Amino acid sequence: MNRQAQAAVMFLLGAALLHAGSTDLYLRYVKAGLQPLLLASGGVLIAAALATVWYERRRNRSAGHPHDHAHPEPRISWLLLLPLLALILIAPPALGSYSALRSGTALQKPYAYGTLPTANPAPLSVIDYASRAAYGHGRSLHGRTVRLTGFLALDHSGAPYLVRMALNCCAADAQPVKIALTGSLPPVLRPDAWLDVTGTYSPRLTHDPVNNGPIPYLNVTSAQPVPVPHDPYDETWNN
């Protein structure tokens, strides 16, 4: 693979990063806050590719003939294009119940709790509710109805959990936060189905069999199926 071909691969990779960063595709790989860095990286790669092409043409004109043909590189180098094609053509699904049940809950005690939204029911993230219930002993949740969105996971006994995978940086480090569900649940529970759940605080607490982390309960009053959200991951677990 000569320098011209290297520049072409670099250009295509930069274009793929710009494409992913300007659409929802990047949310399958990294958290939303990294979008500017992703776009900047794509721009830098494209600029470097164009600079490489310009430099090589200038060098070849000054030398009177191309130099790269004297030392051809093995054709196997073109296999570097396979990850690029995968990035462009295949959008991986968000991590779901299979990963959630094989990883311990990532719930951590927060430094402080924000003010509960005044709306009724109060919209909370899975992580916010779980931390208030497990570590705040539900003090800020008493007498309030809350609304959460997550996907379903069923353990080996069929017990249902509402889950959201939390990101620190990218999908490779995603970890689940789980809430055990009780109360008025749909008659048919399908793993990985996304639900909009309304309910109230329960003082019950169980522990994750994987890492013994706390899993609080939610008394469900209603549950409605919803489409997969724009951003299926949650970035707030370490706040």
Residues 122 and 32 in one domain: no
The residue out of 50, 67, 89 marking a domain boundary is 89
- CATH number at 147 reads 2.40.50.140
Regions of the chain with pLDDT less than 50: 237-239
Q: What contacts 167, CB < 8 A, 6 or more positions away? A: 30, 31, 173, 174, 233, 234, 235, 237
Using CA atoms, how far apart are residues 221 and 239, in angstroms rounded to an integer?
28
Residue 239 placed within a domain: no
Burial of 64 (0-12, 13-18, 19+ CB in 10 A): exposed
Nearest to 194 by CA among 234, 156, 148: 148
pLDDT at residue 239, rounded to an integer: 43
Burial of 231 (0-12, 13-18, 19+ CB in 10 A): middle
Residue 231 placed within a domain: no
> Which residue is listed with tokens 């590719």?
49
The residue out of 65, 89, 113 marking a domain boundary is 89
pLDDT at residue 114, rounded to an integer: 85
pLDDT at residue 230, rounded to an integer: 80
Segments forming the whole domain that contains residue 178:
97-225
DSSP β-bridge partners for residue 147: 123, 198
Using CA atoms, how far apart are residues 225 and 200, in angstroms rounded to an integer?
19
The model's pTM is 0.70
pLDDT at residue 72, rounded to an integer: 56
In this structure, are residues 228 and 194 in contact, taking their beta carbons and an 8 Å threshold? yes
Q: How many domains does the chain have?
A: 2
Detail the DSSP E strand segments found in the chain: 122-123, 145-154, 160-166, 175-183, 194-207, 214-225
The residue out of 43, 59, 89 marking a domain boundary is 89
Residue 130 placed within a domain: yes
Using CA atoms, how far apart are residues 228 and 235, in angstroms rounded to an integer?
16
Residues 115 and 203 in one domain: yes
Residue 172 placed within a domain: yes
pLDDT at residue 160, rounded to an integer: 96
